[in-house]
Chains A and B, each alone.
Chain A
Amino acid sequence: MPLTRREFLKVTGMGLAAGSLGMLGFGASGVAQAAAVRPFKLAHATETRNTCTYCSVACGILIYSMGDRAKNALSNIIHIEGDPDHPVNRGTLCPKGSALLDIVHAPTRLKAPRYRKPGGTEFEEVSWDFALDRIARLMKEDRDKHFITQNAAGTTVNRWISTGMLAASASSSETAYLTWKVARSLGMVVFDNQARV
C-alpha cells in the first residue's frame, strides 16, 4: 500500500490519540450490551386506514396514532405510511404522501376562528357563534338585496350572483354534497371548485 510520510504521520497521530480500548478490556464488560437498535415505535400504536389528501391517485395510507383509543387517551398522530394492501400504491408514497405527518401537524394549522375588521391590520380570535352569526347575517343581507327572482323577460330564474363560493376538491364527497345542497338552496351560481383550474 502506497503511503506518504505525511500520511504515515497522520496514522501515527490517530493511533496515539485513540488506541484500541476494547483490546485493553474497556469494552469487555456490560458496555457491549448497550442499546443498539432503536425501539420500533409503532408496536402498540393504533392503525387507521385513510386516503392521501393530495392528488387523485388516492393512495391508501395507514395513520398511526398514540394511544389505543381508551377513554383517557387522546389520539395523537405519530406516523403515516402507505397501505400495502392498496391495489394502486401497494404501500408506496410520494414525497408529499411520505410527509403527511408534517401537514397534519403544520405549525400553520389553524386552531381558532379569526376575524379581521374592515381596515384592520391584524386578525383577532373570535368565537364560532360570532363568526357564523355574522357570516349568515352578511349573506342574508346581500341575498335579500340582490337576489334575482325573474329576468328581464319575466322568466323565473331565482339566482344569486353577488355572493359566490369556491368548494374544496380535497373535501370528502359527503362534504361536497352537503355544500352543494346549501349553496344551491340559496340560489348561488357563482360556484366552482378546483376542477375549473
Chain B
Amino acid sequence: MTNTWQDIRNANLVIVMGGNAAEAHPCGFKWVIEAKIENGAKLVVVDPRFTRTASVADYYAPIRPGTDIAFLSGVMHYLLEKDTIQHAYVRAYTNASLIVADGFSFEDGHFSGFNGETNTYDKSSWNYEFDEQGFAKTDDTWQDQRCVINLLKQHVSRYTPEMVSRITGTPQDKFLHICELIAATAAPDKAMTSLFALGWTQHSVGAQNIRAMAMVQLLLGNIGVAGGGMNALRGHSNIQGLTDIGLLSNQMPGYLSLPTDKETSYDEYMKTKLFKPLRPGQTSYYQNYGKFVVSLQKALWGDAATKENNWGYDWLPKLDIPLYDIIKAFEMMNNGEMTGYICQGFNPLQAFPDRGKIRRGLSKLKFLVTMDPLDTETSRFWQDFGPQNPAKSSDIQTEVFQLPVTCFAEESGSLVNSARWLQWHWKAAEGPGKAMSDIWIMSGIFHRLREMYRKDGGAFPDPILNMSWKYTNPIAPDPEELAKEMNGRALADLTDPVTAVVTKAGSQLDAFAQLRDDGTTASGCWIFAGSFTEKGNQMARRDATDPREQGIAPNWAWAWPANRRILYNRASADLDGKAWNPKKPVIEWNGTRWAGIDVPDYGPTVKPSDGVGPFIMNAEGLGRLFALNLMAEGPFPEHYEPFESPSENVLHPKVPNNPVARVFADDRASFGHRRDFPYVATTYRLTEHFHFWTKHALINAILQPEEFIEIGEVLAKEKGIAQGGWVKVSSKRGEVICKAYVTKRIKPMTVDGKSTHVIGVPLHWGFTGQARKGYGANTLTPSVGDANTQTPEFKAFLVNIERTAAPAT
C-alpha cells in the first residue's frame, strides 16, 4: 500500500477492482464504509461476480476475468480524450513531457525490439531521448509527438468504449458511468483510492494490470495524496515482511538484487545499480545502493566481510536465470532435477497451479521437509485420500519429515502489514507438545550443517563457516536480537558530516541515512533502519494518537521507510508546496522545511523552487507513465488474453497472449481450448476462510463446511444443474466434483458478440482439517505465470461443467 488502511476514509471515490476487499480484508474494509459515511464517498466495484464488496457498493459493473488492462486503458483513453486529467500534477510530477527515443514503437501486439525466435525483447529502444549531458529531453508544451503523453494517447486510442465492451463484456453504459465517476477525481482536491489484491496479480499480465491503474492514478493526480494511492491489500500477515527481507529467489533484504552470473564482481554488480539522475538536480536515491549492500554484508558475515574480499561478494549465490520461482521449481522437480525441498509454513500441494503436477513433482524428491503448526496436505501428499488425493504410497520413495512448529500466539516478534507497519507482538503461551519455533529449527539445521562442514569439509564451506551468528543464545536466537541486527548498528564511531554528531561504535542506528559503504556500519535490512534504535523497540510503540484523525497515527508501531506512512507524499502538495487538497494536507512547505502529519518522502529542507521531482527513488524524479525497460512486456500496458481464453484477441489476433510469458512445453500441452472447455473459470477466497488454514479451525469449518462452485442461473438452466446439485468441473488438467451454488450474482456477459459464462471456484478445500474433504481449486488451474513475477494465472482459465450424480459415500 502507498497509503494506510485508515487513510482510505479520506477518499472521495473507492474503486475495488482486482480484489474483493470486503470479503478478504473485512477489518480494513471498514475504512471504505467510513469513507462512505463520513466523507460522502462512492464505492465502485468491478468484478466478474457480484461479491460481498459489491453488496455495499454504490455502483457495480461486471468484467470478464483477465481483461482489466482493456478496461483501464479505456479509462485512460476517456480521461485523455475528454481532457479530464490533473494537468499541473501530470506536467510537473510525471514523465508525460519527456521525449521517447525514436526507435520505440508498437505494432500488431508487439513493442519494438521483439525477437520471435526467443520470445524476448531487446529493450534498448524503450528509453528517453537524451541530450549531450545525459539528461532526458523534455517538451513541457506537449507539442512533440514523441512526448510520453502523446505516445500514451496514441497507444490507448484503440480502447474506445465499444472496444472495451467488446473485449471485457462490461456493458458500455456501465463502463462510461464508471469513467465519469473516476474522471471527477481529477479535481486537485478530490481523490480516488484503488484497492486491489490477487485479482490483479494472478494473471499472465498481472504486473501490467496494476501498472495500468497506477497510470490512471498519476493522470488524476491521486498518488501521494490523502485518500489516494495504489493500495495492494496483500495476503498473509507477513507477506510484506518476507518481501521486504527478500525471501524471494532473486532478492536480498531491502529490495537489493541478488547478483547474477553477469555480475562477475562487486564492482560489476554495482555498475547496474547506481542509477544516475536522468534530469538535472534530481535525487535518485539509489545512488546510495552501495551503502545498503555493504552494510548487509557486514551484518551477514561480520568481520569476515572486508574491503579486500569485496565484502564477501563471492559468498552470495549468483543467478543464471532471472528467477527460480515456484513454477520453475516444480518443473525442475518433475524433470528429476531436484533432491530436496523444505516447506516452511507453506502448503504447495494446495497453493500452486496444476495440482497433479505438484504431486508428481513431490513424488520425485529424495526428501521433503515440512515445518508447520498444522497437518498440511503437502506433508501427506504420499498418502491415499481417495479421489481428493489418489496416491500409491509404496511407489513414492520420498522421505518426509513433518516438523511441528509453534504459531503466532506462541512467539514474540514483528510482522509487517500491507501499509508497511512493523508491529511487535508478544508470546501468550507455550506451543503444544514438542512443537518448536521456526527459529529453533532453522538454527538446529544450520548448526548441524556447520559442524559437519567444519569437521568433514565439503562443497564451498566458506559462507557457512563465516556466517555471523553472535547471538546470546545461538541455539534459538532471541527475536529482539535479530530485530536489532536488521535495524543495524555502528561498527565504529560515526561522525555526521553535517551536524558533527557522533554515533558511538556499537550503538543502534537511527536511520538508513547513517549507513556507510566503508564497513563501519552493519544493517541486515536497510529499510528497517530506525525500527529498533537506542531508544528501544519502535515497533512496539502503542500511541494511537492520530492528528486531525486523518489516518496516519505516526506513533503507532513503526513504518518503513523512516516511519513514513504515505509514500510519495511530496506529491500531495502543489508546485509551491501547498496541499492540493487544503482540507487534507499531508505535508506542506512552511518556508523553511516540509512539515505536516507525516515524514516527508523528500529532502526535508529541499525548497519547492528547486524543482526536485517527488518520486525520489526514480532517476528522473517523476512518476512513470512510460516504464522504460522495467517491465517485461513493454513500457505501456497492452491487453493480452489469458493463456486459456474464450475469445480471440480482437486487437491483434496473431499475438493473443503475453508474448514474453515463459511457458514450459509440458505446461503448454496442458492448456485447454475453448472448443472443449467453453467456460471461463476464476478462483477466489471466501470470507469465512483463510486459504487452507481455517478448515482446521472448527468455527470456520462450521461457517463454510464444504467445497462448492458458483454458476449463474442461465448456465445452470442450460446444463440442467439444480441449486445445491452435484457437478463435475473439468479443465485439461483435472476435475473437481462438488456441489453447485446457482446464483443471480453471476450473469453471462457478451464478449465479442458471444455470450460468455463465468464459473467461480472458491479455493479452500483439501483433505486434512475439519471441513469436509475437497479436491481444491488448483486441480484445475494452469501452470503459467506473469512474465515479470511468475505469479500463476489463477484468475482466468477455461473449464467445462456438467451435472453429475452425488458421489458414493
Contact = CB atoms under 8 A, between A and B. Distances in A.
Instruction: Check A-B contact in the complex, CB < 8 A.
Output: yes
Interface of A: 46, 48-60, 63, 65, 74-77, 80, 82, 85-90, 92-100, 102-104, 106-121, 123, 128, 131-140, 142-144, 146-147, 149, 151, 153, 155-197
Interface string B455-499: 000111001100100000000010100110110000000000000
A106 to B, nearest CB: 4
A75 B426 CA distance: 14
Interface stretch (B417-425, B504-512, B570-578): B417-425
12 contacts: A55-B235, A59-B27, A87-B553, A102-B699, A106-B698, A153-B261, A165-B343, A170-B238, A174-B439, A177-B485, A177-B486, A194-B346
Given A96-B690, A113-B434, A86 B544 contact: yes
A108 B319 CA distance: 39
B650 to A, nearest CB: 30
B766 to A, nearest CB: 11
Interface stretch (B278-286, B368-376, B653-661): B368-376
Contacts of B790: 196
Contact of B482 (A52, A178, A186, A191): A178
Contacts of A182: 442-443, 445-446
Given A53-B237, A174-B439, A111 B434 contact: yes
Given A119-B393, A164-B342, A56 B407 contact: no
A176 B348 CA distance: 18
Contacts of B542: 49, 85
A183 B436 CA distance: 19
B317 A184 contact: yes
B372 A110 contact: yes
Nearest to A116: B400
Contacts of B546: 87
B647 interface: no
Given A142-B366, A196-B248, A165 B352 contact: no
A41 to B, nearest CB: 16
A183 to B, nearest CB: 8
Contacts of B234: 55-56
Given A113-B402, A156-B314, A85 B544 contact: yes
Contacts of B346: 166-169, 193-194
A167 B393 contact: no
B314 A75 contact: no
A75 B626 CA distance: 57
B82 interface: no
Given A74-B430, A119-B393, A155-B318, A166 B417 contact: no
B18 interface: no
Contacts of B467: 181, 185
Contacts, number: 486
A194 B691 CA distance: 11
Contact of A185 (B249, B463, B477, B528): B463
B157 interface: no
Nearest to B699: A99
Nearest to B324: A190
B399 A115 contact: yes
A172 to B, nearest CB: 3
A195 B243 contact: yes
A143 to B, nearest CB: 6
Interface stretch (B142-150, B325-333, B606-614): B325-333
B329 A190 contact: yes
A170 B428 contact: no
B51 interface: no
Contacts of B247: 167, 169, 176, 179-180, 183, 191-193, 195
In this complex, the member of B318, B348, B418 whose beta carbon has the largest number of chain A beta carbons within 10 angstroms is B318
A119 B486 CA distance: 43
Contact of B477 (A59, A128, A178): A178
B344 interface: yes
Contact of B352 (A93, A99, A186, A197): A197
Given A59-B27, A114-B401, A163-B342, 12 more contacts: A56-B236, A88-B4, A97-B27, A112-B433, A115-B402, A139-B449, A140-B453, A172-B412, A173-B242, A185-B446, A187-B317, A194-B346
B786 to A, nearest CB: 10
Given A95-B703, A117-B399, A193-B346, A179 B326 contact: no
B7 to A, nearest CB: 10
Given A53-B407, A169-B242, A172-B238, A106 B770 contact: yes
B341 A177 contact: no
B433 A94 contact: no
B696 A56 contact: no
Contacts of A116: 382, 398-402
Interface in B674-721: 687-690, 693-694, 696-700, 703
Contacts of A196: 248-249, 325-326, 789-791
B351 A57 contact: no
B6 interface: yes
Nearest to B525: A177
B337 interface: yes
A88 B237 CA distance: 14
Nearest to B451: A136
B26 interface: yes
Given A179-B247, A193-B248, A103 B693 contact: yes
Contact of A164 (B5, B329, B407, B432): B329
A150 to B, nearest CB: 10
Contacts of A94: 25-27, 687
Contacts of A108: 374-375, 696, 768-770
A160 B317 contact: yes
B427 A48 contact: yes
Contacts of B372: 110
Contact of B344 (A51, A136, A138, A165): A165
In this complex, the member of A48, A137, A157 whose beta carbon has the largest number of chain B beta carbons within 10 angstroms is A157
Contacts of A175: 411, 413, 437-439, 442, 479
B341 A165 contact: yes
Interface string B1-13: 0001110000000
In this complex, the member of B24, B242, B314, B344 whose beta carbon has the largest number of chain A beta carbons within 10 angstroms is B242
Contacts of A133: 448
Contacts of A107: 696, 770
Interface string B276-302: 000000000000000000000000100
B486 A173 contact: yes
A58 B233 CA distance: 11
A75 B432 CA distance: 11
Given A65-B429, A132-B444, A181-B300, A172 B261 contact: no
A110 to B, nearest CB: 3
In this complex, the member of B348, B408, B411, B699 whose beta carbon has the largest number of chain A beta carbons within 10 angstroms is B408
A49 B402 contact: no
Ranked 10 nearest A-B pairs via Cβ: A168-B345, A111-B433, A172-B413, A110-B404, A58-B417, A136-B448, A99-B699, A147-B459, A56-B234, A48-B428
A46 to B, nearest CB: 8
A104 B344 CA distance: 18
Contacts of B700: 95-96, 99, 102
B187 interface: no
Given A50-B426, A143-B459, A109 B436 contact: no
A75 B325 contact: no
B264 interface: yes
A57 B5 contact: yes
A99 B688 CA distance: 10
B108 interface: no
B460 A136 contact: no
